[in-house]
Amino acid sequence: MEKSIEKIWNEAFINEQALIAPKINGLYNQKSKSVINKIRRTYEIDNKGLLPMAFILVIGMSMFSEAIIGIYGAFLLLSLYFFNQRLLNKFKTIDVKSDNLTYLKSYRNIITLITKSTKKLFVFAIPMAVLSIFAIAYTIKEKSFLSKFISSDTTIIEVLGIGLIVAIIVSFIGILIFKLSTKILYATLISKLDSIIKEMEELKN
């Protein structure tokens, strides 16, 4: 029996879609790979920047006879480096055998996790770090930067009170810098990633 024109048309359309689909998938795979590589590279460069900062801090503080504070500050920066590195290692836990859309969604979820964790760091960990620096400086006040601002009658409560004010200011400034740097370094890339995920979901549906 001869095929109807409608059936021939439908079969031709299906075959055409079968040929186009791999090309579309290949295009999105290429676009997503490019965006992901740029995001990963930016994260790594951003985090590795903490290493020379730690070294410079030790040298700089030692020049002002603040070696103990400098070493402790460098320790905090190195701790931040390893904290960030642990977060970045979560990218390696994504199943590379999964389809592209699932992989991208998992990647995006980890980016959200990193952002939330970093915000918590600035809200809680950074103020605690600043307070601990003031506590150490008070302990070695005759050799620390606080020696110019406190007397023998100054209590630890007063020093920590000043430290708390400084910590809140540092936390606030840190959050602003984090938001600004995130917007400059990652906003465009993350926006592209979100667009790719949205387009692939629409194609899938």
Q: Which tens digits make up the pLDDT trace of 114-142?
A: 989 988 888 888 888 888 888 887 887 65
Specify if 10 maps to a domain. Answer: no
Q: Note the pLDDT of residue 52.
A: 92
Q: Which tens digits make up the pLDDT trace of 1-34?
A: 445 544 443 444 344 444 344 555 555 566 777 8
Whether the predicted pLDDT of 96 surpasses 70: no
User: What is the reported pTM?
Assistant: 0.74
Q: Do 198 and 54 meet the contact criterion of CB atoms below 8 Å apart?
A: no
Specify if 118 maps to a domain. Answer: yes
Q: CB neighbours (10 Å) of residue 116?
A: 10
The secondary structure of 88-153 as a DSSP string is HGGGGGS-TTS-HHHHHHHHHHHHHHHHHHHHHIIIIIHHHHHHHHHHHHHHTGGGSGGGGT--TT
By residue range, what is the domain housing residue 103?
38-204
Q: Note the pLDDT of residue 109.
A: 92
C-alpha pair distances (Å), 190 with each of 23, 40, 65, 88, 186: 24, 11, 44, 16, 6
Specify if 8 maps to a domain. Answer: no
